[in-house]
Structure 1
Amino acid sequence: MKRMFASLVLALLLSTATAWAESLATLQQQAESGNSDAQYDLAMCYWKGEKGAPKDDSKAFYWAKKSAEQGDAYAQSWVGYFYENGYGTARDFGEAAYWYRRSADQGNRFSQNNLGECYYYGRGVERNYEKAASWYKKAADQEFPSACYNLGWCYENGEGVASNRSLAISYYRKAAASGNEDARQRLSKLGLSADGSSTTSASTASTSSSSSGSHVDPSTLANAQSGIDVSQYVLGQQYFDDGNYEQAVYWWRQAAKQGYGKASLQLGECYYNSLGVDRNYKTAAYWYTEAAEQGENDACFKLGVCYEEGIGVIRDYQIAFKYYEKGNFMLAAAHCCRKWLQQQNRTDLNYLTLSIAELLLMSSKGDALAQCYMGLSAYIDSDLSKAKAWFQKCVDNANATSLSRTIARKYIASIEEGEEETDALMEFFGF
């Protein structure tokens, strides 16, 4: 009986596989003949690895674009998504925004929301909160949950629209009713529930009002309320030190909107660590970017980590390197560059050291870490006199890290003693 059952299952699987193969072949023929619907369906087969098709991002992108070029709004939306995330093609935010717009103009709510995000974060287009809110609204009018949440956020924080708490709550509730967890959490933070009731008792509110701000300086509060950015930042810090994180976030946001870099950095930290707001890595990266562009070195490091690890942003080692270098975190820049080169399958150690050294020397002439890399490159090439000269420069460099200086000294000693040094090389690269 078991053998008979197994045979029946096998026969069923074989017949299903045969049917899928025939269906896929038919779909392929129709797609190749220019049928837009077939091209889109074939793209989805390759994207999901369904109906007998192997999962193949490149083929999914190829056929989706074929369909998109014929005007299919769904295909255009997917092409934008593929470009934004680098699936099946090189990542290109400009192309992503272009295809999202073509789809959004046809009323596709997914693309309308994503185009709004392009404008909100400045991906592939110039950052523009008004346009972001406008596209969010188009998608929200079609009951797209993420767009309802995004538009609620805009109304709550006055980004691209006039600040309006009641509208913010209304859109949050629309999103929450459709299962959007971010909206539910935001309503909870505001002391509200998704069904319209309040979750904050009068006694709790009274206690919060009387206890919060016990270390707040009245003159700082007055200056902050009059719009002085440094006072808004200091007031935020006072609230933060007092444990009132929501008020800290509020005042740091006011200062950050005026371009106060330290406030932008602190906002990023709050979103990253869920202090006074729901954790949101994408928003954290946004505020880190604002702070980095305003010259905050610590924000450059934080943003470098975000891009290196893909936290809140799409992983991009080259952008990570740029911010590490901008903040003068050269050791982090070197390690990040090593990862990038390994991603390119260039794992030859001599190529690795020389390329990183050249990049570092271009960005920071006389950098001690670069000098150490140049010494390593020359050492691998058996040019010991040149290697020793570079290592000595690293040792003599007042800005050298203890690790770089220690490794340089090890190599100098090995050259002078005529012994090959390998442990320090592995230590340097973290292998």
Structure 2
Amino acid sequence: MAASEDRRQWRAAVVDLLQRDRLAQPDELGAVAAAAAAPLGLDVWVYLVDQEQRVLLPVPRPPAAPPPPLPVESTVAGQVFMTVRPRASTVDGRQRLWMPLLDGTERLGVLEFGLGDGGSADDPGLLAGCDLFGQLLGHLVATKMPYGDALLQVRRQRRMSEASELLWRLQPPMTFVSERAVVSAILEPCYEVGGDAFDYAANDGTLFFAIFDTAGHELRAGLGTAVVMSAIRAARRGGEGIAAMARAADRALERHLPELRFTTAVLAELDLDSGRLRYVNAGHPPPLLIRRGRVVRGLDGGKRLPLGLGEAAGLSAAPGRGEAAGRGDAVVVGGDEVAEELLERGDRLLLYTDGATEAVGRDGGVFGVEGLVELVERDTGELPAPEALRRLCHSALAGYAGTPADDVTLLLVEWAQDAARRMLPLATADPIPPWGEF
């Protein structure tokens, strides 16, 4: 087939996918994808990764019988999910091309393209077309998910608790990648999250990120975290800095949930041009600074009382008072300490809740920060942040004696100029026809 004809067919498939999707319900998306790809001689199955990122589960497309689930750790499809790189396999004499399914750069699962007669997974045009088709489909999966339960149900192995339902709807996507930074997070046990959560926002040249842990368990803890996150987002979107965000959370908890004890948190702002980090630690475990695969130290500055206690202890700034600007180890503002750190290119920050370190290890002792540091240096290396975090979490869970008594939340932030390159499916593939030609 001529290259121009090939491009026309892919363009028609993409347009068809958009048109079919417009009125499709979430439960119809698997069939929509298959119908749009059929004129290309391709048989498409969509797989979504489960909440714990251990199994790839097929999206139904009746009346076809769905293929079996695929373990992440031991299948070609799983390798594609972990590495974000396409791979080919042959089943019953027919070639299959596996592509990562991404919403931008967030890993949702994989796509299986069954190739027709004469199709080759080595064809650059086919790779480019499948990647383009997959990019659009990933966005469509993400946008359709809130409109029904079908796609969420595919990703779940069992029923979620009420607190988990609340917090999963409040949190941003698990992965964010730009040209200058990566943010990735993971929560366990994902079906019974109590008061753990994370947040981030990239605006202009600043990346805000935070981690939260509200005292208590189940829905009461989840309600406390929801109030804290809402107060901080309102303050942030009102142009306030991190110390003022913390004070807004103090006031919100005191006003709306005075019976709750407190929320520990780390709130941080990273200048994406200079690497200047400013942070406040509200009674939370210190973030770990990772440089060239080794944990350099914990960032133990920026200390203040946990959220919900600062206002009661008189740590509120005077009305209208803004945050001080300056350099040095810390800036004290209205009783709050804002610490500073200058990052190097490629540095990573690991934020975690105490459930990650206070769990009992298999030797009967507390797992501890030392156990977490050992896993960071052993298992993460130069892996892209989302995969590094997935392996770190699973290694930690495997090192515990039974199920942790508290939530385990991990947030990994990387400041790197080439962060995006390692997160794109065809970043290291052979030359591909320019997208404009499609």
User: Above 0.5 in TM-score?
Assistant: no
Band of TM-score, shorter chain: under 0.3
Identify, as 1 or 2, the structure richer in strand. Answer: 2
Larger Rg: 1
TM-score (norm 1): 0.26
Identify, as 1 or 2, the structure richer in helix. Answer: 1
Name the structure, 1 or 2, with higher relative contact order (CA <8 Å, separation 6+): 2
